[in-house]
Amino acid sequence: MEGMTMTRTRSCFCSSLPLQLQLPPTTTTTRMRMKSGTSHFRSRSVAVAVSVPPPTTTRMMSTCPPTPTTGRVDRSGRFSSPRSARELALLISYAACLQGTNPLLLFHRRLNAKRVPGFVFDKQLLLRYDHMSFASQPIHVATHQEEQHLIHQFDTDSAFEADVLSAPLKLVYTNFVLRFTREILEAVATGWNQRIHLINQVIPQRWKNEAPSKIIELCILHIAMAEITSKGTKHQIVINEAVDLAKRFCDGQAPRIINGCLRTFVKQQSEESRAEDISESEAIRLA
The boundaries of the domain holding residue 13 are: 3-48+58-113+124-275
Structural domain includes residue 147: yes
Structural domain includes residue 280: no
Structural domain includes residue 224: yes
**pLDDT by residue, tens only, the chain of 287 residues:** 444 434 333 333 333 333 444 433 333 333 333 344 344 444 333 322 223 233 333 333 333 434 444 457 888 899 999 999 999 999 999 999 999 999 999 999 999 998 888 888 888 888 888 777 776 566 677 888 888 888 888 888 888 888 888 889 999 999 999 999 999 999 999 999 999 999 999 999 999 999 889 999 999 999 999 999 998 899 999 999 999 999 998 988 999 999 999 999 999 988 877 766 676 766 676 66
Structural domain includes residue 281: no
* Phi/psi at 36 (5° precision): -80, 75
Q: Give residue 184's pLDDT.
A: 97
Sheet holding 29-31, edge to edge: 29-31, 3-10, 42-51
Structural domain includes residue 284: no
Q: Give residue 135's pLDDT.
A: 63
Task: Write the CA distances from 45 to 41, 91, 124, 163, integer angstroms.
Answer: 12, 18, 25, 15
Structural domain includes residue 287: no
Structural domain includes residue 285: no
Structural domain includes residue 229: yes
Q: Give residue 70's pLDDT.
A: 40
Q: Give residue 281's pLDDT.
A: 67
What is the C-alpha separation between 112 and 195, in angstroms, rounded?
29
**CATH number reported for the structural domain that contains residue 63 in this entry:** 1.10.940.10
**What domain count does the chain have?**
1
pTM tops 0.75, yes or no? no
* Phi/psi at 45 (5° precision): -70, 135
What is the C-alpha separation between 117 and 205, in angstroms, rounded?
49
